[in-house]
Structure 1
């Protein structure tokens, strides 16, 4: 297992060739210490874990790793098929021309859904398509605690949980975050 910067892990997700709408996620507060845990999974692309914290209101720091190359039968039930929340991972827009094309596609999606009786899930899927999102799907998330799925995944990947927590705690200590925002 190789621990890397959390943004490198998200770059792996965004640059992969997996179906964009096949991703699932579980996220919430860390068990111990400041910050958040996030598990991203795709049947064909694997399972990734990211641990982050807000260094200050403008900067997020963190670590992550690839945990598995695919979701097997033991891992599949730990990720939500449907959930109250949704997530999406985006790439940056390359230039002004790309921004204009994306804005036109997005405007068309909004107009279509304004005039048609569609669901919020359909709207979300179409927005992610218009934005050319490389990864999106259902997410089990708790902004004030830890969803059950998060604890189940942490228990399944106990060694990774321990190593990533230690590395994130080292980052927090090095930056002096315990003193407050810098």
Structure 2
């Protein structure tokens, strides 16, 4: 991920469709383009906007990136996102996801990210879910490949606690299925 990110931060984007008309900000490193004029990058910044709906994220990724399937880093921090849209779960190469400073209220939303096999870094602080008891352990248990969470390394002790919680959760689900 040494190429510069496509930076659409601080653009007052409310709808992802609006981003299609924006020009990415110039950073310290110039953005490279391919023959089709799409950006050769695996990173996308959409932070510090007013985005609440991610349903058109694929359109943005396909519009700006030369290799959309290789997207590895997305910064959606400081927006108005209240749920994990299924479109995020389709980004199978995603390694880093910044969602801090949004409106996520339910830990169940984070569970959806468990389908992303390469996700190793996530930020969720600044959402009301961080006030839920067991927040960090829950996230680590449903995202077993995490190395970093909220800009802090996941420790072996935290991973052990998360595995215990996951085991309890699985037993509880199995017992509920037996009752039903």
Category of TM-score, reference length = shorter chain: under 0.3
> Quick check: which one's strand share is greater?
1
- Which has the higher relative contact order, 1 or 2, with Cα contacts under 8 A spaced 6 or more apart? 1
With normalisation by structure 1, the TM-score equals 0.21
> Quick check: which one's helix share is greater?
1
